[in-house]
Amino acid sequence: MFNQDNDPRRPRPPSDSRGFFMLPQAPMDSGYYVYGNLYQRPAKGAYQYAHPLMMTAILNVGLEWQAMDTRRFGVGDISLPGGIKTPDHGGHKSGLNVDIRPLRKDGREEPVKWSDPEYDQVATYALINLFHIFAQVQRVIFNDPGIPFLVRAERHDDHFHLDLRG
Ligand SMILES: [Zn+2]
C-alpha cells in the first residue's frame, strides 16, 4: 500500500552513515534507469546506496552505454543505507553489489528473462563487458548459458548480479 515511507517524493538523506550516496534516481541522459520496490518496503531508492567505486562504475558505464545504444539499462538493488541486512537478500550490504536487468530487444524498461524472445543477448553481453572495462569486476551471476565467465545461481534469470572488488 502507498504510505509516506514509500512516497518517492519524500526527501531522503543525501548520504548514509558510511558516507555512501544514493545512485541518482532520475538522471537525464545517463544511460540507465532505476527500478525498485515502489509499493513495498524499502521504498524506491532506499536500496541504491552505492560504494564510491560502484557509483563511479555505474555512472561511467552509463555514459559509455548511452553513446552506444539508445536504450537504457535498469539498475536495481545495491545496498540499504548503512549497509543493513534484509531478509530477502543475503548479500547487498557492502555497496559493491548491484542487480542489473538484461536488455530487451524492444527497449522497454521492464523485466526480461534470458530465455524470453525479447531478451537481447548481444546487448546484454556488451553491457557486462563495459563493466569489466570500467571497473574491477569480481563476479557476475547470471544464468544465460551463451555468455562466458558467468556464475549460475537460482533466481538469476531476469537480472545479473555483479560484485566489484573493494
Ligand atoms: Zn543481487
Give the pLDDT confidence of 15-67 residue by residue, as tens digits: 899 999 999 987 777 899 998 754 444 566 788 999 999 999 999 999 999 99
Indicate whether 153 pLDDT > 50.
Answer: yes
* Rounded distance from Cα 12 to ligand 1 centre (Å): 23
Q: State the cell numbers at 95.
A: 555497496
- The β-bridge relationship of strands 73-75 and 32-34 is parallel
* Rounded distance from Cα 78 to ligand 1 centre (Å): 8
Q: State the cell numbers at 157.
A: 534469470
* Rounded distance from Cα 161 to ligand 1 centre (Å): 4
Digit-coded pLDDT (tens) for 60-100: 999 999 999 999 999 999 998 898 886 666 689 999 999 99
Per the listing, cell 557492502 goes with 94
Domain ranges of the chain: 4-164
* Rounded distance from Cα 162 to ligand 1 centre (Å): 7
* Rounded distance from Cα 69 to ligand 1 centre (Å): 24
* Rounded distance from Cα 97 to ligand 1 centre (Å): 6
* Rounded distance from Cα 54 to ligand 1 centre (Å): 14
Quick one: pLDDT at residue 28? 76
For domain 4-164, the CATH architecture is: 2-Layer Sandwich (3.30)
Asked whether the CA dihedral 100, 20, 86, 150 is positive or negative, the reply is: positive
* Rounded distance from Cα 98 to ligand 1 centre (Å): 6
How far apart are alpha carbons 2 and 7 in whole angstroms?
7
Predicted TM-score of the model (pTM) = 0.87
* Rounded distance from Cα 141 to ligand 1 centre (Å): 8
